[in-house]
Amino acid sequence: MLGLATRAGKTVSGTDIVLAKLKKGKLKCIIIANDLAENSRGKIEAAVKARPTPLVDVFTEAELSQAVGKKRKVLALTDRGFAKTLLDKIKEGV
């Protein structure tokens, strides 16, 4: 799902870019690696408290990187449909 969203141009990546887009209200879901550094994790979690957005941290850096084809630790979906599908699949345990 993440690879498809990336190819469709519906993702942004990188802590600074994700935080900037979150402040503008452009994000539908944020995905962070569960092995992300505590400093980066804290920044993102604080921003999510200020502007509630679904936050997913069930993937490792390796899994995220493999899914999108680039080394990534922080991603966000900008499309409501992709975000809903991803969240539904995570809830199902797929």
State pTM to two decimals: 0.92
Structural domains in the chain (count): 1
Give the model's pLDDT for residue 93.
80
Mean pLDDT for back-to-back runs of 10 residues, the chain (94 residues):
93 95 95 95 94 95 93 96 95 79
Give the model's pLDDT for residue 94.
57
User: What is the C-alpha end-to-end distance of the chain, expressed in Å?
Assistant: 11
- Residues with Cβ < 8 Å from 28, sequence gap 6 or more? 53, 54, 76, 77, 78, 79, 80, 82, 83, 84
CATH of the domain at 45: 3.30.1330.30
Structural domain span for residue 34: 2-92
